[in-house]
Amino acid sequence: MVRPSRTLLFFVITLSFLALLMLVFPNDGIKINKDITLFFPDFEDFFAEYNAPEKDSTVSSKIIFSIDEDLNAIEEDTLEYVFHEEIVDSSVYSFKPRAIMTDSIRQPLELPNSGLACLQPLFAALTNPDELKHVVRIMHYGDSQIETDRITNYLRYKLQQQFGGSGPGLIPAKTAYGYKSPCEVINEGEWTRYTVFPKIDTAVGHSRYGVLAAFGMFSPLKKKTLEPTPTEKKDTINSTDSTSEVATKEEQLQEETSQVEIQQEIVDNQTVYKGSLTIIPSPIARAGVKQIKKCRMLYGNCPEAFEARVYDGENLLFAEKLRAENFYTTKLWNFDTPPSTLKFEFSAKQSPEIYGFALDGLSGVAVDNIALRGCSGTIFTMINGKMLAQMYKELNVKCAILQFGGNAVPYMTEEKLNGFKNSFAAQIRYLKKLCPDMAIIVVGPADMSEKVQDKYQTYEILPAVVEALKTAALNNNCAFWDMYAAMGGENTMPDWVYHDPQLAEKDFVHFTPNGANVMARMLYSAIISRYNEYIRKK
């Protein structure tokens, strides 16, 4: 039997050894290799009280305006034009835009030297009844922070509530990760998704990826492999190109169509490929998302006509042969009754490249959720400029929201920062050159925490990344919204993680649905506040 005295002696020796380690262990740790450093607490750290945020944290009173409505239980309003005076005559009428109520503005939308002029394309469309007779489109590009329609869904709801419109907007032919909001896409057949990021697939042989930066096909590629041009490189945060070098890339990419010859193999005339896809609005989507009045299918690189059948559930709506198109075209279907389940069946000797489906109302506003997981926002100059310009024009895009930066933060260094800023600025100039009548709002990254010993702290480089994006935006006549500042700034991500209800995930990077709704309300209010300024001046 072990004597109690020996057990006591063992504990005394062990604790003495640990106390000695606390005295002699270096405060900055012992570096094993570039990835591993050993730390050991000193007496002060060991006996200090752990100050983790409590569930009843006062974060809501510090950084979040009052959440006085449950966004998942908002009673849907009828989608009417509620922003203007009554029409008094069908042929001659007065039109006066009204100011729209906003929540507390914690972080304003920052403007360049030109002021509200940078938002003129969007606000002019929203105050023009003739523009709103057609669909005015806002494209919300972002990284994984906006996946599953986070942030976008609230913007879409509020804007359609105020200015009319319905539908989920642009939906890809094949989704990347199977997320189900705003719509679930179910594919049957040999569908493959081709993207411009994280690196260009050399088997594709061109850069015509369209506004979603990806396309889908239901048959194998029938092209010979072509090496990408020297300007077609992966989406990078390591760019050190000068402004002039990036501009040269833009010019080369815009002329790509005439420079690159697509070589096709002979298609086996006996082989016919079939593919179908079903688009189902999310069961938790707002009612407006489900009110699809028309569908525009964007497709191209199709050497032969192909069969298409469109169903609402089991009910056949359309059956027709769609024309061949070497570059890009659009097929429009209008619906007398909004379909509850939209299904497409295709058969072809070679699948067209399908760049997406625009599922909209007949008028008002459409807001697209274009989530590009892993993207740092420096991909647009890698997409064919002629196609982008044509799609933006045909879809009547009046605003692009570019919400990026989070993916750059973990890998950013002071040496890479200027290159990233120049590269992002080049993306803005490229888009403005392709679509001059489009406002651009840049949204910086949220606070992000990394674990330093036993605490979560803001990435040291993050404020500099926010400042780089802000400089790129304001210097190129774009508005900028600082999400990092809106959250509360440095080291506020743990407050959001431990808030009740939880507002951020325990990866200390991404918002929960509740947190995304809070952030969306702040962004919406910042935009509408500038809209109110615009109509007061007009």
Distance between CA atoms of 180 and 379, rounded to whole angstroms? 25
Task: Round to whole Å and give the CA distance between 53 and 56.
Answer: 8
Q: Do 355 and 298 form a contact (C-beta atoms < 8 A)?
A: yes
State the average pLDDT over residues 74-85: 35
pLDDT for 535 = 93
The vertex-58 CA angle with 54 and 62, nearest 5°, equals: 140
Residue 52: the pLDDT is 47
Q: State the pLDDT at residue 19.
A: 77
The better pLDDT of the pair 159, 453 is held by 159
CATH 3.40.50.1110 assigned to 106-198+270-537: yes
**Other beta carbons within 10 Å of 440:** 24
Condensed to tens digits (0 to 9), the pLDDT of residues 301-325 reads: 999 999 999 999 999 999 999 999 9
Report the pLDDT value the prediction gives residue 304, as an integer from 0 to 100: 93
Q: Backbone phi, then psi, for 377, in 5-degree steps? A: 90, 10
Asked if pLDDT for residue 77 goes beyond 60, the answer is no
Pair of tokens at residue 384? 């064919």
Give the pLDDT of residue 36.
66
Retrieve residue 340's tokens.
Answer: 């509850």
- The per-residue pLDDT for 33 is 73
Query: pTM to 2 decimals?
Result: 0.81
- pLDDT average, residue stretch 38-51: 61
**252 or 327, which is more confident:** 327
Least confident stretch, 44-48, 53-57, 363-367: 53-57
CA 442 – CA 110 distance, rounded (Å) = 10
Contact between 100 and 535 under an 8 Å Cβ cutoff? The reply is no
pLDDT band at 21 (very low <50, low <70, confident <90, very high): confident
Transcribe 206-230 into DSSP letters. S---TTTTEEEESS---B---PPPT
Which one is predicted more confidently, 285 or 473? 473
Would you state the pLDDT for residue 283? 84
Q: Can you give the pLDDT at residue 129?
A: 92
Query: In which band, very low, low, confident or very high, does the pLDDT at 250 lie, cut at 50, 70 and 90?
Result: very low
Query: Distance between CA atoms of 526 and 442, rounded to whole angstroms?
Result: 13
Residues 362 and 292: their CA atoms lie apart, in Å, by: 9
Q: What is the pLDDT of residues 145-193, one digit of tens each?
A: 999 999 999 999 999 999 999 999 999 999 988 888 899 999 999 999 9
Q: Give the pLDDT mean for 220-242.
A: 49
pLDDT of 530 = 96
Give the model's pLDDT for residue 12.
79
Separation CA 155–CA 403 (nearest Å): 14
389 contact partners, CB below 8 Å, separation of at least 6 = 434, 435
Structure confidence at residue 244 as a pLDDT band (50, 70, 90): very low
pLDDT tens per residue across span 405-446: 999 999 999 999 999 999 999 999 999 999 999 999 999 999
What pLDDT, on a 0 to 100 scale, did the predictor assign at position 5?
Answer: 79
- Take residue 77 and report the two structure tokens written for it: 């309003």
Question: Any idea where the domains of the chain sit in the sequence?
Answer: 21-50, 106-198+270-537
Task: Return the top range by mean pLDDT from 33-47, 89-103, 235-249, 337-351.
Answer: 337-351
Averaged over 28-49, what is the pLDDT? Answer: 66
Tell me the C-alpha distance between 189 and 246, whole Å. Answer: 40
Query: Whose CA is closest to 179, among 369, 331, 33, 365?
Result: 369
Tens of pLDDT along 190-205? 999 999 988 777 789 8
CB of 234 closer than 8 Å to CB of 199? yes
pLDDT of residue 164: 94
What percent of the chain stands above pLDDT 90? 65
User: Bigger pLDDT: 21 or 359?
Assistant: 359
Cα(351)–Cα(483) distance, integer angstroms: 41
**Distance from C-alpha of 268 to C-alpha of 350, rounded to nearest angstrom:** 9
pLDDT band of residue 286 (cuts 50, 70, 90) is confident
pLDDT, average across residues 59-87? 39
Query: What is the mean predicted confidence (pLDDT) over 68-75?
Result: 39
Which range among 220-234, 394-408, 469-483 shows the weakest confidence by mean pLDDT?
220-234
